[in-house]
Structure 1
Amino acid sequence: MTTTATINTVPATAAREISRRRTFAIISHPDAGKTTLTEKLLLYGGAIGLAGSVTSKKEEQSTSSDWMAMEKERGISVSSTVLQFEYKDRCVNLLDTPGHHDFSEDTYRVLSAVDAAVMVIDAGKGVEPQTLKLFDVCRQRGVPIFVFVNKMDRPSRAPLELIDELEEVLKLAPAPVNWPLGDGPRFRGVYDRSKDEVHLFERTTGGAFKAPLEVAGIEDDKVREALSDDLYEAVTSEVEMLDGLTEPLDIERVLAGEQMPIYFGSAMNNFGVENMLESFLEMAPEPAGRVSDEKMVAPETNNFSGFVFKIQANMNPRHRDRAVFVRIVSGIFERDMQVIDQRTGKKVRLSNAQKLFGQDRETLDTAYAGDILALVGNYNFLIGDTLTSDPKVVYNEMPRFTPECFTYIVNNDTANIKRYRAGMEQLMKEGVAQAYNVHGSMRAVPLLGAVGPLQFEVLQARLISEYQVETRLEHSPWSVVQWFEENVPDTMRRDSDPPEVKLPSGCSVARDQDGNWVVLLSSQYMVSVLHDRNDHLTFRNHANG
């Protein structure tokens, strides 16, 4: 049972700063409009003068959240980024995440560092496979979900059908905060149910949209004039039905993960985005604590603590530096402070902390619980490390995903061996892939495992662009991994030797990067064969117990 200990709290001024923080991630299936929504939120927050559009065209402005070369070429997010901005009385920490399934592990790490998530849904497609997987991760972590139904300016599914699907698939009570006035070419704006206020939009001759015109009340004459008779009748009928079909919005239920606020709009054309942002920031939770040794460490605790959830090398290729991202759980960060890295037990001075905005950066002197700290330099931290001024605090926030594909990345030119090794060492510290040493193999390079094959393409692309090393992929026959150990430890066996295991044909024994023994198999079918042959062993589907 988790308990909250009596705490020595931060000063009142710091407590106010902590209460202003709102830290959240935006998640979605690829191409639902996640990065476009991120850019428009930054635009409303005054963080950028012109929101970039996700595009592969060189003449277009690239987005602030996508900075890696591959992201700009493909128009997708393949790494998570941290963006902080002020909006009215809130200090917002926004984390953009990869939408592609192959980068689920990076997204999972990000979700360990946030207090809420905005899930973007394509209005024409509804709940897609990756959306559901990301939702499951949020549910496991107890992260409240807010839903933005995007692309209403395109032909869409009926909004009542969409909220019905969301309720059926996600098993959360829907609470539409606004309601769309039509879709596609007939889309005219959104109706704010809580304020009984219509936000009308007008298309210009070029296809863009003018700023919204606020009108009090859905029965106002201006609203009737803006909508065709049949559309007005349909919208008013739907709004009336919502009162009987959905429950009133309850913030406590939202934060408990039982209800989801739903917003409709178009990120590309700024329909309903500001409406969503203001409403979200009113309801989103303040920074939450984390559990250490079954005790909840509150954000207002005076002792500084946090955990590393992401490492990114070469964000600035000129400096060959690496950024270590830390979610501050409690207390106040001050530049040059000393903390304990609980993994090594060593004290470390945090002398080069920076506030990042995509690739842009500025020196950070002070930060508070809820903020994301970027430590830039050659810090020897690893993902999952706890940094704290209290030696009793240790966080365990980073379970690993089980790899689904395996390959070798082989250096093409032995003259580049030093650069190859340096690049691989650094990228592996980021958690781009997991390393396995196949027992008895004569290969000089480790086997790499990842959730999806696109991870390997990213690794190759970064070795070329950041280390000038060309490589080739040599795929392995394995696609399934099983961790194992003996039910009764054999004290006579050497540590370098695996426990005795009877392997099905085509399987191999290996060791993961933490020294645990695994069996590599060619198919899921082989798992039951492996288990049947080895009653003396205990098997697991994942590394984390």
Structure 2
Amino acid sequence: MKYANEIQKRRTFAIISHPDAGKTTLTEKLLLFGGAIQVAGAVKSNKIKKHATSDFMEIERQRGISVATSVMTFQYGDTLINLLDTPGHKDFAEDTYRTLTAVDSVILVVDSVNGVEEQTRRLMEVCRMRDTPVIVFINKMDRDGKNRFDLLEEIEKELNIHLHPMTWPINSGKDFKGVYDLHNKSLVLFTANTKANEEDVVNINDLGDVVLDEKIGDADAKILRDDVELVEGVYGALNANDYLKAKVAPVFFGSAVNNFGVKELLETFVRISPTPQSRETSVRHLDVNEDKFSGFIFKIHANLDPKHRDRIAFLRVCSGKFERNKYFHHVRLDKDVRFSNPYSFMARQKDVIEEAYPGDVVGLFDTGNFKIGDTLTEGESFYFTGIPSFSPELFKEVVNKDPMKTKQLEKGLLQLTDEGVAQLFTQFGGNKKIIGCVGELQFEVIQYRLLQEYGASCEFRTLPYYKACWITSKDQKKLDDFTRFKTNNIAADKDGHLVYLAQSEWFLNTERQNNPDIEFHFTSEIHKEG
């Protein structure tokens, strides 16, 4: 229990949403409140050269989308907040799913105009699998969107979650006048482009107060009174325990781009969100209050700084105290490692830290020792469970356009696929390099980064595969025979494990029936212990 104070101070969460719901904008506004940045970047505007703080890869700046999870740490009052901004684009969902294993709660951004979208559903399923507490921020209230009651009903039905409004909107679109804070009994009036800490707040202890009519007009005051009576009758006061158990999601209405409704969200988040939580491992339940250090790698990023060929492994501290220059045990490699320059993050800026506590995310300079899911401990051997890895759905052969740069291409492919957004396979008995991804955009990003960061130019040739299956068997001879007969469909992943590339579902099912002694696995987790 010696680090209980530090644990109580910390909150680690991710912001998730469908693309374009305003996630990166909300991230920026939270950083403004925390004093971590002074000027918000115009994410979509090319006229302004200040880009969103959390979008640090060149291709993200050009396209105005986040394709890699960024980590930002800032202080708000007495609370130290670790915020993980995730890619909204579905082609990078895998990165987002892994990030969700490193946080204790999430803020889900829903666009009031479009409501619940496909990616919102997928992300919410991951949160439910892990019982992650969720706060919902309904964004873009200053645009003409869906009716507020319809929107709540749609979110509850589509995402299968009970909501609890914490603020209530007064109109929307061009008639949007602000929100009524149900918790603090105050009226927060809307003006476009508000700066942080400059909200126009009117305390109204009694909704019958004539001040309400003066501020928003008789008609809107009447609607608000009826709405609030209905909402309070249905929902009552928020039970913070139900939120922590992921049974209820508090809801806020606002406009991130205008910095409106964000402060109420942040203050409630600090008040009710969970401190760093205990976790399950392959051996036992690990209590967050244990004195001995443990943590796991949930993300790897190559070339964070294009001037230096660096790879950073992102470590989530789960228990104990991480210390600079102290030896820790790398479980998979079974060797002790130490770090002379561990970092904390403010997107691109890195500050060397001396120590870190549960909930913190530390950047470790990596020379190729780490893979996603690796565990560091003070000697004990275990893995943290539940870190997903997916079977790719799109496969392309890498065609080298510049044979003089073969070495650079191979190095780039290895390093970029280590980040976990794509998988690299080498055809069995040959040298054909195959990249497997979950989405089309990933190929574009890989091609761009190979050229920009490694000077290697390549193109991709689509291959007719439907799924990658890792194959194992207790009977080595059967496995050898299978790989010999199916040479064209067999590849090795970068760790040398055999993979069967199936052309279709029919082919896959046929092979499974014809080869009962061979097991087909859809993730590489099977090799985790090896």
TM-score by length of 1: 0.91
Q: Name the residue aligned to 1:54.
A: 43
Structure-2 change in CA distance of 1:525 and 1:234 (3 Å): farther
8 Å Cα contact 1:56/1:74 also seen in 2: no
8 Å Cα contact 1:203/1:210 also seen in 2: no
Matches within 5 A, 1:283-432: 283-378=272-367, 380-432=369-421
The alignment partner of 1:71 has SS state of: helix
Query: How far did residue 188 of structure 1 move?
Result: 1.0
Let me know the Cα RMSD of the aligned residues: 2.3
Q: Deviations over 1:40-81 (max 9, x none)?
A: 000001000011121250534101100111101110000001
The alignment partner of 2:257 has SS state of: coil
**Which amino acid letter does the alignment assign opposite residue 89 of structure 1?**
D
8 Å Cα contact 2:144/2:172 also seen in 1: yes
Query: How far did residue 528 of structure 1 move?
Result: 4.0
8 Å Cα contact 1:25/1:116 also seen in 2: yes
- Percentage of matched positions with identical amino acids: 40
- The question of 1:468 aligning with 2:455 is answered yes
Q: Name the residue aligned to 1:4.
A: none
Q: Name the residue aligned to 1:44.
A: 33
Query: How far did residue 535 of structure 1 move?
Result: 4.6
**What CA distance in whole angstroms lies between the structure 1 residues aligned with 2:447 and 2:454?**
10
Q: Name the residue aligned to 1:5.
A: none
The alignment partner of 1:143 has SS state of: coil
Query: How far did residue 491 of structure 1 move?
Result: 4.2
Structure-2 change in CA distance of 1:482 and 1:263 (3 Å): same
Structure-2 change in CA distance of 1:501 and 1:118 (3 Å): farther
The alignment partner of 1:350 has SS state of: coil
Q: Which runs of 5+ in 2 are unaligned?
A: none
**Which amino acid letter does the alignment assign opposite residue 92 of structure 1?**
I
**What CA distance in whole angstroms lies between the structure 2 residues aligned with 1:165 and 1:247?**
20
8 Å Cα contact 1:303/1:390 also seen in 2: no
**What CA distance in whole angstroms lies between the structure 2 residues aligned with 1:359 and 1:208?**
24
The alignment partner of 2:373 has SS state of: coil
**What CA distance in whole angstroms lies between the structure 2 residues aligned with 1:542 and 1:118?**
28
**What CA distance in whole angstroms lies between the structure 1 residues aligned with 2:497 and 2:370?**
21
- The question of 1:107 aligning with 2:92 is answered no
**What CA distance in whole angstroms lies between the structure 2 residues aligned with 1:210 and 1:228?**
25
Structure-2 change in CA distance of 1:497 and 1:69 (3 Å): farther
**Which amino acid letter does the alignment assign opposite residue 508 of structure 1?**
N
Query: How far did residue 101 of structure 1 move?
Result: 0.8
Query: How far did residue 515 of structure 1 move?
Result: 4.3
Q: Name the residue aligned to 1:481.
A: 468
**2:180 aligned to 153, 171, 191, which one?**
191
Structure-2 change in CA distance of 1:386 and 1:133 (3 Å): same
**1:129 aligned to 108, 118, 135, which one?**
118
8 Å Cα contact 2:413/2:424 also seen in 1: no
Q: Name the residue aligned to 2:200.
A: 213
The alignment partner of 2:356 has SS state of: strand
8 Å Cα contact 2:283/2:382 also seen in 1: no
**Which amino acid letter does the alignment assign opposite residue 22 of structure 2?**
G
**Which amino acid letter does the alignment assign opposite residue 203 of structure 2?**
A
**Which amino acid letter does the alignment assign opposite residue 357 of structure 1?**
M
**1:15 aligned to 4, 25, 33, which one?**
4
Structure-2 change in CA distance of 1:143 and 1:463 (3 Å): same
**2:161 aligned to 160, 169, 172, which one?**
172
Q: Name the residue aligned to 1:449.
A: 436
**Which amino acid letter does the alignment assign opposite residue 462 of structure 1?**
R
Structure-2 change in CA distance of 1:284 and 1:210 (3 Å): closer
Q: Name the residue aligned to 1:510.
A: 491
Q: Name the residue aligned to 1:70.
A: 59
The alignment partner of 2:102 has SS state of: coil
**What CA distance in whole angstroms lies between the structure 1 residues aligned with 2:286 and 2:450?**
40
Q: Deviations over 1:497-535 (max 9, x none)?
A: 5468889xxx82333344444432334454444445445
8 Å Cα contact 1:26/1:38 also seen in 2: yes
**Which amino acid letter does the alignment assign opposite residue 120 of structure 2?**
T
* Bigger shift: residues 27-36 or 446-455: 446-455
Structure-2 change in CA distance of 1:525 and 1:125 (3 Å): farther
**What CA distance in whole angstroms lies between the structure 2 residues aligned with 1:318 and 1:334?**
27
Q: Deviations over 1:340-362 (max 9, x none)?
A: 10010111111111112111111
Q: Which runs of 5+ in 1 are unaligned?
A: 1-8
**Which amino acid letter does the alignment assign opposite residue 35 of structure 1?**
T
**What CA distance in whole angstroms lies between the structure 2 residues aligned with 1:372 and 1:508?**
40
1 or 2, which has the higher helix percentage? 2
The alignment partner of 2:168 has SS state of: strand
The alignment partner of 2:6 has SS state of: helix
* Bigger shift: residues 215-224 or 353-362: 215-224
Structure-2 change in CA distance of 1:271 and 1:137 (3 Å): same
**What CA distance in whole angstroms lies between the structure 2 residues aligned with 1:476 and 1:274?**
50
TM-score by length of 2: 0.93
**Which amino acid letter does the alignment assign opposite residue 493 of structure 2?**
D
- The question of 1:542 aligning with 2:529 is answered no
8 Å Cα contact 1:26/1:117 also seen in 2: yes
Q: Name the residue aligned to 2:475.
A: 490
8 Å Cα contact 2:475/2:517 also seen in 1: no
**1:237 aligned to 226, 231, 242, which one?**
226
**What CA distance in whole angstroms lies between the structure 2 residues aligned with 1:471 and 1:247?**
60
Q: Name the residue aligned to 1:519.
A: 500
**What CA distance in whole angstroms lies between the structure 1 residues aligned with 2:140 and 2:412?**
40
- Runs of 4+ with >6 A deviation: 207-210, 500-503
**Which amino acid letter does the alignment assign opposite residue 461 of structure 1?**
Y
Q: Deviations over 1:347-387 (max 9, x none)?
A: 11111111121111111111111100111253522211101
8 Å Cα contact 2:70/2:86 also seen in 1: yes
Counting matched residue pairs gives 524
Structure-2 change in CA distance of 1:466 and 1:219 (3 Å): farther
**2:70 aligned to 67, 71, 81, which one?**
81
* Bigger shift: residues 471-480 or 75-84: 471-480
Query: How far did residue 209 of structure 1 move?
Result: 11
Structure-2 change in CA distance of 1:510 and 1:222 (3 Å): same
8 Å Cα contact 2:409/2:450 also seen in 1: yes
8 Å Cα contact 1:201/1:210 also seen in 2: no
